[in-house]
């Protein structure tokens, strides 16, 4: 079975981040997809993992299908 996913990239200010991230989350939930979130290095302290062990870190390897994600 092929993995389908929604890729969320940050855009504009923090308020727009929250609104678009929630929209992407609900879209992924309703369509049965995995939500991938790309965070720039300067905003990693703004978000936290609410439930320990539920977040996976994706390492951007050469074989990842999308390149140059970090703005």
Q: How far is the CA of 6 from the CAs of 54, 59, 64, in angstroms?
A: 17, 17, 14
Q: Determine the pLDDT at residue 29.
A: 92
47: left (phi over 0), alpha (psi -120 to 50) or beta: beta
pLDDT in tens, 10-61: 777 777 888 888 999 999 999 999 888 877 667 667 777 777 777 666 655 5
Q: Are 21 and 51 in contact (CB under 8 A)?
A: no
């Amino acid at each position: 079975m092929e993995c389908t996913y929604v890729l969320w990239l940050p855009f504009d200010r923090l308020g727009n981040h929250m609104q678009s991230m929630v929209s992407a989350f609900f879209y992924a939930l309703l369509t049965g997809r995995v939500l991938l979130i790309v965070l720039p290095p300067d905003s990693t302290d703004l978000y936290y993992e609410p439930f320990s062990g539920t977040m996976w870190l994706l390492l951007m390897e050469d074989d990842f299908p999308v390149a140059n994600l970090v703005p």
